[in-house]
C-alpha cells in the first residue's frame, strides 16, 4: 500500500504519513497538493480564535515554548513576558547599574534585557498631519501655551509635517518655553490631544492616531491624489456624463478637457479659462492662495478661479463639475445663454463619481513619532564601557525598543532613534522638571554579549524575580503589530 | 527549545513539540505532529504549575515512543499477541483488547484517549489538584477530587460544532474518560454515525468503545452511503482496504432508526459488560441515549429531542 505511486511521504514528524494527492496526513496540517507537501492553514482553529476574539497569530510562527511558570497569567499573549522600561525608574548618576537588568531565556539562549527609563534632554516629536489644508508657511513657529515649541517643516504627500521639541526649545529658551515644550511633548507622546497655533497659519488640535482638527473643522480624509492625478484616475467615469471637470487643488489643479487624460478620450475643448500658472496642459499651479477651504486653497466659491469662457469654443448648457481632491467640496454648473455658469443640483449620473473620490481617500490621521538620543550617559547604566553599547547596537547584536515598540535607529553616530508612540502602552512617558522627557528604553542582547561589553552581570536577575513576587508590576498585552522584542533579538543571532 | 521543562528531562526533548500557554493564561497547549492537547488543571497555583511541568515533560517523548512501535499498533489486535513496550501503547492495547476476539480493531482506535490518559496520569502523580482534564481533540481524560464536577458539552457533528447537550461528571461517578467517534471526525469510521459520544472509566476505553459503537451504526448495502477503501485515501491507514464512510445521503426514517437501533444494541452490550457508562448516538438529527438512566452522570437530551410542543 505504501508504494502508491502518487502518494508522498511527509517527514514533518515521525509518523511519516503517506499522503495521497489532495489529502492530508493524520495531523490534518500537512497535505499533498499536486505532488508537493504543503502546510495547510488551520482555518477551523483560526475561526474559533476569531470567534473568541483572540488575537490571531501566524500558525506556528509565534508559538513559543513555555517556561514552566504561570507568570503571564491571562495577560500576555502567547507565552512569554517582556519587561518594558515603563515605570522602571531611572538611576542617577547614570553609572549606577540600570534599575532592572533581567535575564530571560529565549529558544535556549540566555537573553538579557536592560531596562531603564531614560531622561531625554535631546528629544522631540515629528508629527504628520494628514491634510491638504494649509497649516502655515514652512519654518513658521508652532506655539503651545503661547510659547514656540517647534516649527512647520517640509510638506509631504497629502500631509503637513511639524517638528516639535528638541534641545533648543527644551533648554535654549526661557524657562516657560522649556516647560511648555516639555508639556506638549509629554501630552503628544502619551496620546493626549494638544492644541497648537501656527504663526501666520492655522490653529490645529493634534492627537496621535486621531484625525486632525484644523481651525475647528475635523479633517475626514486624505486627498485621493493631486488635482491632476484625480483627473487621470476618474476621467473615464466622467466621460460622456459631463463636458468638463475642474479638480481644485492648492498644488496642482486639473482640468479634464485640457488634460492628457481628457484628450485621449476625445473630450472636446470647452473654452474654459483657469486663473493661476499653467504648468503643462490641464495642470495649473497657484490657482488661489493656500487655505483651509476647497482642496487646501482659501476659496469658498470655486467660480473665483475661473475666467470668462471663450465664446468661440463654449456653448450654452455646457455642463461643468468642480470638485476638490477629497470629494468633500463639489459644485455643478451649466452655462446660460451668456455663457455664465449657473449652479445646479448635482445630476444623478455624477453623484457616484464624487462618492468614488471620497471612498478612495484614506482616513486622515495625526501620527506622532518620538525621537530621542540615547547616545549619552544613559549608556553608562548599561555598561561600564558606554561606547561598546553603541557599537553593539550598530552591529545589531543589541536590540533597542521603546516601551516594547520597535525603533528606527538613525544611522551615524550615537543611538538616536524614532518610535511610533501609538505602539507603546498607555502613559509610557513622564518628565522631570529639568525640563526633560522621561521615556522608556530597553536594550536586549545575549547574556554572553552583555558580559563582553562590560555589562553589570552581577546585577542580572531572572525574570521570575520581577514578575512573580510583586503586584506593582502591571501586565499589559503586547501590541499586536509589534515584533516580539526577545524573538527578534534571537532571530538575528541565528542568521 | 523550551526553556525549562523539568530540567532533568531536557536531553530527551524533541525539537518539534510545542508547549505553550494559551492566550487565556490558564490552559496549556501541547502539540506534536498529529497530537494536539489542551490541558487545564485547577488548584493552588504552585500545584497547577507543577502539574503543567509534569505534563510537558511527559509529553515531549510520547510521539517518538508511539512511532517506534507504529507498525505493531496499526496491526489488528489479536488476543495473546505480544504486548508493546511503551506505556501509551500498552494503554491502547488494554483498551481495545476486550473487542479483539469478535471485532476488527487495531490499538490505533484508542490512541487519542490513551495519550490523554497518560498525560493526565503524569500530572496527578506530581501535583495535588482539585480537578484537571486533558483534551485530545475531543477525547478527554478527567481527574476529579471530592465534590468537584465537570460539565462536558457534546456535539452532534464534529465538523460543525454546536452543542447537542451537556453532561455533568461528578467526582462520585466512576466516569473519568470521554470520547467521540464518527465518520465526519478526523479518523476514518466503518459506520455512518455522525457522532457517538461515550462516557467510560478511562479515556482510552471510551475511545475504543466509541469506535466500536460508531462502526455498529450502519446500513450495509444502502445506496445512500459512499464508501472508499481506507488505503485509497491514506495508503498507510491501519484500516487497510476496509471501506470507510466518505458520504451519507439523506436516509429514510426507518433506515435511520434501524441503524441507530443496531448501534444502541452494541452500546447496551458494552454497558452490560462494564466497558462503558453511557453513550449518545447521533445520526442525521436523531439521537439515542444508552445507559443514561442508571448513571448519575447523565447525558441530557437536547430540548428538541423531547418534542417541540410550543412551536
Question: What DSSP string describes B239-285?
Answer: TTT-EEEEEE-PPPHHHHHHHHHHHHHHHHHHHHTTS-SEEEEEETT
Backbone angles phi, psi at A285, to 5 degrees: -95, 155
Nearest Cα neighbor of B216 from B150, B256, B263 is B263
Backbone angles phi, psi at A373, to 5 degrees: -115, 120
Terminal Cα distance for chain B, rounded: 57
Q: pLDDT digits over A100-115, tens only?
A: 555 554 544 555 656 5
Q: What is the residue-wise DSSP string for B55-73? A: HHHHHTTHHHHHHHTHHHH
Q: With an 8 Å Cβ cutoff, are A72 and B32 in contact? A: no
Predicted confidence (pLDDT) at residue B311 exceeds the cutoff of 90: no
Q: pLDDT digits over B192-217, tens only?
A: 998 888 999 999 999 999 999 999 99
Predicted confidence (pLDDT) at residue A486 exceeds the cutoff of 90: no
Question: Structural domain boundaries of chain B?
Answer: 1-146, 148-301
Give the integer Cα–Cα distance in Å for B63 and B72.
15
% of chain B exceeding 70 in pLDDT: 84
pLDDT band with cut points at 50, 70 and 90 for residue A198: very high
Give the three cell numbers for residue B142.
Answer: 478527567
Q: Which residue has the higher pLDDT, A128 or A10?
A: A128
Q: pLDDT digits over A165-188, tens only?
A: 998 898 888 888 988 999 999 999
Q: Which residue has the higher pLDDT, A198 or B158?
A: A198
Q: With an 8 Å Cβ cutoff, are B235 and A18 in contact? A: yes
Query: Smallest Cβ distance to B2: which of A1, A28, A66?
Result: A66
Give the integer Cα–Cα distance in Å for A91 and A99.
7
Query: Smallest Cβ distance to A15: which of B33, B45, B186?
Result: B33
CA A253, A319, A244 angle in degrees (round to 5)? 30
Q: With an 8 Å Cβ cutoff, are A14 and B18 in contact? A: no
Predicted confidence (pLDDT) at residue A201 exceeds the cutoff of 70: yes
Question: Which run of H or E residues covers position A403?
Answer: none
Q: What is the residue-wise DSSP string for A201-226? A: S-EEEE-BTS--EETTEEP-B--SS-
In this prediction the pTM is 0.47
CB under 8 Å to A469, separation ≥6 — which residues?
none
Determine the pLDDT at residue B271.
94
Give the integer Cα–Cα distance in Å for B179 and B159.
15
Question: Which run of H or E residues covers position A425?
Answer: none
Predicted confidence (pLDDT) at residue B141 exceeds the cutoff of 50: yes
Mean pLDDT of the region A352-369: 89
Predicted confidence (pLDDT) at residue B120 exceeds the cutoff of 80: yes
Determine the pLDDT at residue A384.
75
Mean pLDDT of the region A178-199: 93
Q: Which residue has the higher pLDDT, B199 or A99?
A: B199
How far off is chain B from A116, nearest CA to CA, in Å?
25
Q: With an 8 Å Cβ cutoff, are B21 and A66 in contact? A: yes
Predicted confidence (pLDDT) at residue A457 exceeds the cutoff of 80: no
Predicted confidence (pLDDT) at residue B20 exceeds the cutoff of 60: yes
Give the integer Cα–Cα distance in Å for B43 and B26.
11
Which of A66, A82, A108, A447 should we substitute to test contact with B (largest number of B Cβ atoms within 10 Å)? A66
Nearest Cα neighbor of A295 from A387, A223, A344 is A223
Query: Smallest Cβ distance to A68: which of B26, B49, B241?
Result: B49
pLDDT band with cut points at 50, 70 and 90 for residue A242: very high
How crowded is residue A154: how many other Cβ atoms within 10 Å of its Cβ? Answer: 9
| DSSP code of residue B298 | -
Q: Is the peptide bond before A21 cis (omega within 30 degrees of 0)?
A: no
Write the CA distances from B215 to A76, B49, B168, B188, B220, integer angstroms.
Answer: 44, 40, 26, 10, 11
Determine the pLDDT at residue A50.
36
Q: Do residues B35 and B88 make contact, with C-beta atoms less than 8 angstroms apart?
A: no
Cβ burial B101-127 (10 Å sphere, 16+ → b, else e): eebbbbbbbbbbbbbbbbbbbbbbebb
Predicted confidence (pLDDT) at residue A405 exceeds the cutoff of 50: yes
Q: Do residues B52 and B28 make contact, with C-beta atoms less than 8 angstroms apart?
A: yes
Q: With an 8 Å Cβ cutoff, are B25 and A76 in contact? A: yes
Would you say the C-alpha torsion A237, A243, A247, A252 has a positive or negative sign? Answer: positive
Chain A CB contacts of B231 under 8 Å are 1, 4
Mean pLDDT of the region A305-320: 94
How far off is chain A from B11, nearest CA to CA, in Å?
12
Q: What is the largest CA-CA distance in chain A?
A: 91
Nearest Cα neighbor of B204 from B136, B149, B268, B264 is B136
Query: Smallest Cβ distance to B186: which of A13, A16, A28?
Result: A28
User: Cell numbers 447537550 correspond to what residue?
Assistant: B165
pLDDT band with cut points at 50, 70 and 90 for residue A476: low
pLDDT band with cut points at 50, 70 and 90 for residue A336: very high
Predicted confidence (pLDDT) at residue A477 exceeds the cutoff of 70: no
| DSSP code of residue B222 | -
How crowded is residue A363: how many other Cβ atoms within 10 Å of its Cβ? Answer: 10
Chain A CB contacts of B1 under 8 Å are 65, 107-108
pLDDT band with cut points at 50, 70 and 90 for residue B159: low
Chain A CB contacts of B21 under 8 Å are 66, 70, 72, 79
Mean pLDDT of the region B92-111: 94
Q: In what order do the strands lie in the sheet with A319-324?
A: A277-280, A283-285, A253-255, A244-248, A319-324, A330-335, A341-344
Contacts A–B by Cβ distance under 8 A: 114
Q: With an 8 Å Cβ cutoff, are A72 and B25 in contact? A: yes
CB under 8 Å to A225, separation ≥6 — which residues?
A232, A233, A325
Q: With an 8 Å Cβ cutoff, are A17 and B49 in contact? A: no
For chain A, which residues lie within 8 Å of any Cβ of chain B, measuring from their own Cβ? 1-4, 7, 12-20, 23, 25-28, 54-55, 60, 63-70, 72-79, 105-108
Determine the pLDDT at residue B29.
86
Q: With an 8 Å Cβ cutoff, are B236 and A105 in contact? A: no
Q: With an 8 Å Cβ cutoff, are A65 and B31 in contact? A: no
Mean pLDDT of the region B9-16: 50
Give the integer Cα–Cα distance in Å for A444 and A399.
5
Q: Which residue has the higher pLDDT, A412 or B39?
A: B39
Q: With an 8 Å Cβ cutoff, are B1 and A108 in contact? A: yes
Q: What is the residue-wise DSSP string for A32-76? A: EETTEEEEPP-HHHHHHHHHHTPPP--TTTS-----S--TTTTTS
Question: Which run of H or E residues covers position A183?
Answer: helix A175-189
Chain B CB contacts of A68 under 8 Å are 2-6, 49, 52-53, 56
Mean pLDDT of the region A135-143: 94
Q: With an 8 Å Cβ cutoff, are A18 and B234 in contact? A: yes
Q: What is the mean pLDDT of chain A?
A: 78
Backbone angles phi, psi at B139, to 5 degrees: -95, 115
How crowded is residue A105: how many other Cβ atoms within 10 Å of its Cβ? Answer: 20
Nearest Cα neighbor of B138 from B198, B71, B73, B64 is B198
Q: How many CA atoms lie within 13 A of B73 on its CB side?
A: 27
How crowded is residue A220: how many other Cβ atoms within 10 Å of its Cβ? Answer: 15
How far off is chain A from B53, nearest CA to CA, in Å?
6
| DSSP code of residue A360 | T
Query: Smallest Cβ distance to B235: which of A2, A64, A73?
Result: A2
Determine the pLDDT at residue A93.
39
Predicted confidence (pLDDT) at residue A276 exceeds the cutoff of 50: yes
Query: Smallest Cβ distance to B19: which of A54, A66, A77?
Result: A66
How crowded is residue A324: how many other Cβ atoms within 10 Å of its Cβ? Answer: 28
Nearest Cα neighbor of B163 from B180, B177, B176 is B180
| DSSP code of residue B8 | G
CB under 8 Å to A131, separation ≥6 — which residues?
A158, A159, A160, A212, A214, A219, A222, A296, A364
Chain B CB contacts of A6 under 8 Å are none
Residue A169: helix, strand or coil by DSSP?
Answer: helix
Q: Which residue has the higher pLDDT, A139 or A55?
A: A139
Give the integer Cα–Cα distance in Å for A42 and A24.
12
Determine the pLDDT at residue B6.
39
Lowest mean pLDDT among A18-22, A247-251, A363-367, B171-175: A18-22
Q: Do residues A422 and A402 make contact, with C-beta atoms less than 8 angstroms apart?
A: no
Q: With an 8 Å Cβ cutoff, are A20 and B232 in contact? A: yes
Chain B CB contacts of A28 under 8 Å are 34, 186
Q: pLDDT digits over B227-263, tens only?
A: 999 988 888 888 988 999 998 888 999 999 999 999 9
Residue A232: helix, strand or coil by DSSP?
Answer: helix
Q: pLDDT digits over A33-78, tens only?
A: 778 777 653 322 223 333 333 333 333 323 344 555 554 333 333 3
Amino acid at each position: 500500500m505504501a508504494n502508491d505511486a502518487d502518494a508522498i511521504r511527509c517527514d514533518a514528524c515521525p509518523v511519516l504519513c503517506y499522503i495521497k494527492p489532495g489529502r492530508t496526513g493524520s495531523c490534518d496540517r500537512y497535505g499533498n497538493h499536486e505532488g508537493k507537501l504543503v502546510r495547510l492553514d488551520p482555518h477551523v482553529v483560526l475561526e474559533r480564535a476569531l470567534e473568541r476574539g483572540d488575537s490571531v497569530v501566524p500558525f506556528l510562527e509565534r508559538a513559543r515554548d513555555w517556561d514552566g511558570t504561570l507568570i503571564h497569567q491571562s495577560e500576555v499573549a502567547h507565552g512569554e513576558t517582556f519587561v518594558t522600561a515603563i515605570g522602571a525608574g531611572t538611576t542617577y548618576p547614570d553609572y549606577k547599574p540600570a534599575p532592572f537588568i533581567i535575564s530571560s531565556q529565549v529558544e535556549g539562549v540566555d537573553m538579557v534585557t536592560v531596562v531603564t527609563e531614560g531622561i531625554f534632554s535631546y528629544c522631540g516629536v515629528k508629527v504628520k498631519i494628514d491634510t491638504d489644508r494649509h497649516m502655515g508657511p514652512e519654518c513658521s513657529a508652532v506655539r503651545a501655551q503661547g510659547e514656540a515649541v517647534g516649527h512647520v517643516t517640509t510638506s509631504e504627500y497629502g500631509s503637513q509635517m511639524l517638528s516639535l521639541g528638541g534641545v533648543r526649545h527644551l533648554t535654549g529658551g526661557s524657562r516657560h518655553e522649556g516647560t511648555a515644550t516639555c508639556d506638549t511633548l509629554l501630552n503628544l507622546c502619551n496620546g493626549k490631544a494638544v492644541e497648537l497655533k501656527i504663526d501666520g497659519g492655522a490653529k490645529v488640535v493634534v492627537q496621535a492616531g486621531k484625525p486632525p482638527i484644523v481651525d475647528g473643522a475635523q479633517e475626514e480624509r486624505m486627498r485621493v491624489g493631486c488635482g491632476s492625478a484625480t483627473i487621470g484616475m476618474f476621467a473615464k467615469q466622467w466621460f460622456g456624463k459631463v463636458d468638463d471637470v475642474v479638480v481644485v487643488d492648492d498644488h496642482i489643479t486639473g482640468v479634464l478637457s485640457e488634460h492628457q487624460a481628457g484628450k485621449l478620450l476625445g473630450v472636446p475643448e470647452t473654452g474654459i479659462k483657469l486663473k493661476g500658472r499653467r504648468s503643462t496642459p490641464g495642470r495649473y499651479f497657484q490657482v488661489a492662495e493656500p487655505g483651509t477651504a476647497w482642496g487646501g486653497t482659501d476659496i469658498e466659491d470655486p467660480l473665483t478661479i475661473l475666467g470668462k469662457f471663450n465664446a468661440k469654443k463654449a456653448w450654452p448648457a455646457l455642463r461643468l463639475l468642480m470638485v476638490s481632491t477629497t470629494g468633500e467640496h463639489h459644485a455643478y454648473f451649466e452655462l446660460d445663454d451668456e455663457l455664465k455658469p449657473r449652479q445646479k443640483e448635482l445630476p444623478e449620473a455624477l453623484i457616484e463619481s464624487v462618492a468614488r473620490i471620497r471612498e478612495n481617500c484614506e482616513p486622515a490621521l495625526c501620527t506622532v513619532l518620538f525621537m530621542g538620543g540615547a547616545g549619552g550617559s544613559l549608556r553608562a547604566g548599561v555598561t561600564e564601557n558606554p561606547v561598546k553599547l553603541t557599537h553593539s547596537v550598530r552591529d545589531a547584536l543589541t536590540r533597542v525598543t521603546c516601551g516594547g515598540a520597535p525603533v528606527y535607529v538613525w544611522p551615524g553616530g550615537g543611538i538616536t532613534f524614532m518610535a511610533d508612540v501609538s505602539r507603546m502602552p498607555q502613559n509610557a512617558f513622564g518628565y522631570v522638571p529639568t525640563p526633560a522627557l522621561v521615556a522608556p528604553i530597553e536594550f536586549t542582547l545575549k547574556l554572553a554579549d552583555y558580559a563582553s561589553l562590560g555589562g553589570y552581570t552581577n546585577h542580572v536577575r531572572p525574570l521570575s524575580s520581577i514578575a512573580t513576587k510583586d503586584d506593582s508590576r502591571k501586565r499589559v498585552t503586547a501590541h499586536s503589530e509589534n515584533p516580539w522584542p526577545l524573538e527578534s533579538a534571537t532571530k538575528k543571532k541565528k542568521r | 527549545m523550551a526553556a525549562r521543562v523539568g530540567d532533568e528531562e531536557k536531553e530527551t526533548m524533541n525539537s518539534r513539540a510545542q508547549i505553550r500557554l494559551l492566550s487565556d493564561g490558564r490552559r496549556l497547549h501541547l502539540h506534536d505532529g498529529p497530537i494536539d492537547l489542551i490541558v487545564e488543571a485547577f488548584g493552588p497555583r504552585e500545584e497547577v504549575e507543577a502539574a503543567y511541568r509534569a505534563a510537558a515533560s511527559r509529553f515531549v517523548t510520547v510521539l517518538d515512543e508511539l512511532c517506534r512501535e507504529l507498525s505493531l499498533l496499526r496491526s489488528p489486535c489479536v488476543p495473546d499477541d505480544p504486548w508493546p513496550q511503551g506505556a501509551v501503547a500498552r494503554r491502547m492495547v488494554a483498551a481495545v483488547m476486550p473487542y479483539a476476539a469478535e471485532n476488527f480493531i487495531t490499538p490505533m482506535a484508542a490512541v487519542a484517549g490513551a495519550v490523554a490518559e497518560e498525560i493526565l496520569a503524569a500530572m496527578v502523580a506530581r501535583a495535588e489538584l482539585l480537578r484537571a482534564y486533558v483534551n485530545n481533540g475531543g477525547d478527554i481524560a478527567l481527574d476529579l477530587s471530592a465534590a468537584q464536577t465537570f460539565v462536558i458539552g457534546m456535539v452532534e457533528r464534529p465538523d460543525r460544532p454546536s452543542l447537542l447537550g451537556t453532561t455533568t461528571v461528578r467526582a462520585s461517578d466512576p466516569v473519568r474518560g470521554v470520547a467521540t467517534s464518527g465518520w465526519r471526525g478526523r479518523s476514518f469510521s466503518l459506520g455512518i454515525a455522525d457522532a457517538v459520544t461515550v462516557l467510560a472509566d478511562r479515556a482510552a476505553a471510551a475511545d475504543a468503545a466509541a469506535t466500536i459503537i460508531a462502526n455498529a451504526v450502519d446500513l450495509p448495502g444502502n445506496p445512500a452511503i459512499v464508501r472508499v477503501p481506507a488505503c485509497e485515501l491514506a495508503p498507510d491507514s491501519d484500516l487497510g482496504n476496509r471501506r470507510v464512510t466518505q458520504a451519507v445521503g439523506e436516509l429514510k426514517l426507518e433506515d435511520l432508526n434501524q441503524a441507530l437501533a443496531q448501534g444502541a444494541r452494541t452500546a447496551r452490550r458494552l454497558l452490560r459488560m462494564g466497558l462503558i457508562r453511557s453513550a449518545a448516538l447521533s445520526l442525521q438529527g436523531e439521537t439515542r441515549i444508552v445507559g443514561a438512566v442508571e448513571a448519575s452522570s447523565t447525558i441530557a437530551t437536547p430540548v428538541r429531542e423531547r418534542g417541540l410542543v410550543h412551536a
